[in-house]
Chains A and B, each alone.
Chain A
Amino acid sequence: MTEALLKVENLRIELTTRAGVAPVIDNLSFELGHGENISFVGESGCGKSMTALAIMGLLPEGVGRVASGRILFEGEDLTAASDSRLRDIRGNEISMIFQEPMTSLNPVYTVGEQIAEVLRAHQGLSARAARDMAADLLDAVRIPNARARAGDYPFQMSGGQRQRVMIAMALACRPKILIADEPTTALDVTVQAQIFDLLRDLRRDTGTSIILITHDMGAVAEMAERMIVMYAGRNAEIGPVEQIIDHPRHPYTKGLISCVPHIMATLTEDRPDLTEVPGIVPGLREFGQDRCLFASRCAYRTEQCLRQRPPAMAFDNGQLADCWHAETL
């Protein structure tokens, strides 16, 4: 097997808030291969976005810091890299698209200008070449009539078009890794389907690896080979998507899958009540304790779960579940 493109090792990110210091990411490890698509799932507040920001070197200043662990990108430890080196990597190797495209686009420049600016800064293109290529990129993300629409301001575009502009901008530097943090949450499903198609094509054509953060298991099933289920800053379960959906080994994964009313191939009259996962995600204050943080919501809980943090249980098929009772599930 070739060396992974990105390797996160025992990462611990601490946030300092009024309530004290808490590990918002607590001993997280995973790898991302060349051209691979991995998905992060979990309820909000579980640390998915923090993981993405840590990789980008964009942790909230004065609040978040890498306490221990390494983020290896092509062998280089990003946690030890200088600010200018991180800026360089952000511009050229790893880019990110955010949930709300309006806030990440500048309202006073046309979308074409904004993409051209990225191209000039990172690929050293002339103004004219950058303008041409910006239009090509808009065309590549299937903005109809791209050359003319390059002159539009962000407010003149629909939500789906703005998100496509963000993707075009993220592509402008031909990144090796694209991190998409809930890129379609605010969009209609037909638009979401177009964005997903676009990401799939991109991956096929350029070999870009993708980290897709989402709360939709269906999206994971369609987009990713491997998934990481996060709970309260920790790995709950990691492994190949199909296997995890067929047979989750962590009670939280199981709950996430069965609490959602899915559309199946053929619907029937039968509609039993949804499985409930009681309660909610704990607040930051509770992160980091030496016990299973899911215990208060878990139907499989035993004495042991409250006494000690569960270790990662490995299965032959590559699944890894942080649960004392993963084997019996």
Chain B
Amino acid sequence: MTDRPLLDVENLTVRFAVRRGGVFGRKQFLDAVDGVSFALARGETLAIVGESGSGKTTTALAVARLVAAHSGRVELDGADILGLEGEALRQVRRKVQFIFQDPYSSLNPRQRAEDVVREPLLSLTDMPRDEQQKVIDELFVQVGLRPEQKRLFPHQFSGGQRQRIGIARALATRPELIICDEPVSALDVAVQAQILNLLRRLQKEFGLTYLFISHDLGVVQHMCDSIAVMYMGRIVEHGPRLSLFNNPLHPYTAALLSAVPSVDKARRAATRRILIPGDPPDPVNLPPGCRFANRCPVAQPQCREAEPELRTVAGGQRVACHLVKEDGTAPL
């Protein structure tokens, strides 16, 4: 038994080349993920939140080796996986699986449900056919699908059932880490609850580790043990669930939480809405200093000069803001 994290990401950067002004435009670079570091313990769930375009999906894709990293390390169980090729990469793919947002487009419409689930067994394992069938049969039961549904095609399923197929496919190779990118946001609330309960049950049963991306903060607080908040390719705050929700330190986190409409009267009464008007700066032409400065309600002149480092403050939260004090007092 070690307390080594299952996933350890260090200084991960993903760079895309973009052209401005058509094919003849100048080639520029966009760091969709820019020096991101976090660790995730086995059996736990880390949520990544942040606005659209902040780099959540790109981070996840890089961790799963589905997009190339520009620099940094991604350690799975102590071994860096970024340089792996061939059989070694195939082994990693067995251990890291993905559940996508859109249960409609992420399944091959011409494959029967059982063949969708079989696919990773074929491409990533050497499992004999009869054993494959046994695994598939078990998975159908585990995700709450009926045996006779194995022969149906994706369009014959509802959205929630399609997401169950996607979950069964992700479980097929007995992975250790499952990346869930907005797994329920295309679903109606009632079906969403069914899928969230299923994901939690499976996590307990198989000791799964989740990297969980969602824009729904209610869902996030229900599912995760800790949360990383991203803004423009960087983690601006990272902490355990209760500290981050009950005591957000970074002004962006505070604004984000204050924007969530709530059915709870007490919460509505206690929440002071923090407005962050405007848009984030152009990601290929970043201004100096803090990337949030042009929208931050408490920005100081120093914020526009030096970029704040992600540092650990009292209480254990990590935060990248000049104005958060060492003792963990928030500026807002």
Q: Are chains A and B native binding partners rather than an unrelated pairing? A: yes
Chain A residues at the B interface, C-beta cutoff of 8 Å: 43-44, 142, 144, 158-159, 161, 188-194, 196-197, 215-223, 242, 245, 255-257, 259-269, 271, 273-281, 297
Q: Which residues in A have their C-beta under 8 angstroms from that of B277?
A: 142, 144, 194
B245: chain A residues at CB < 8 Å are 263, 267
Q: Mark B183-197, 1 if CB is under 8 A from A, else 0.
A: 000001111111011
Kindly specify which of B21-29, B130-138, B214-222, B308-316 makes contact with the partner chain: B214-222
Given contacts A215-B189, A222-B268, is CB(A263)–CB(B262) below 8 Å? yes
Secondary structure at the A interface, as helix, strand, loop or mixed, is: loop
A242 and B160 CA atoms in complex are apart in Å by: 30
Chain B residues whose CB sits within 8 angstroms of the CB of A189 once the complex forms: 215, 217, 256, 259-260
The contact of A280 among B52, B190, B276, B278, by CB within 8 Å, is B190
State whether B219 touches A261 (Cβ < 8 A). yes
6 nearest A-B residue pairs (beta carbon): A261-B222, A218-B261, A259-B193, A193-B259, A265-B266, A277-B190
CA of A186 to CA of B219, assembled, Å: 17
Which of B189, B217, B270 touches A265 (beta carbons < 8 Å)?
A: B270
| B242, CB-defined interface residue at 8 Å | yes
Q: Is the CB of A274 within 8 A of B256?
A: no
Chain A residues in 8 Å Cβ range of B264? 262-265
CB within 8 A of A44: which of B188, B258, B270? B188
Query: Which of A158, A264, A281 is within 8 Å of B188, CB to CB?
Result: A281
B89 / chain A contacts, CB cutoff of 8 Å: none
Q: Give the residue among A192, A193, A266 with the most B Cβ atoms within 10 A.
A: A193
Specify the main secondary structure of chain B where it touches its partner. helix
> Given the known A-B contacts A158-B279, A218-B261, A262-B218, are A267 and B241 also in contact in the complex, defined by CB atoms under 8 Å?
yes
Q: Are B263 and A190 in contact (CB under 8 A)?
A: no
Which chain B residue shows the least CB distance to A242? B265
A255–B217 Cα gap in the complex (Å)?
Answer: 20
A43, A142, A219, A279: the one contacting B189 at CB < 8 Å is A43
* A263 lies within 8 A of B221 (CB): yes
Beyond A43-B190, A267-B246, A273-B197, list 7 extra A-B contacts (CB 8 Å). A144-B277, A189-B215, A192-B261, A193-B258, A215-B188, A216-B261, A217-B263
Whether A159 contacts B52 by the Cβ 8 Å rule is yes
Give residues of chain B (72-88) contacting chain A, Cβ–Cβ below 8 Å.
none
**Which A residues are in CB contact (< 8 Å) with B276?**
190
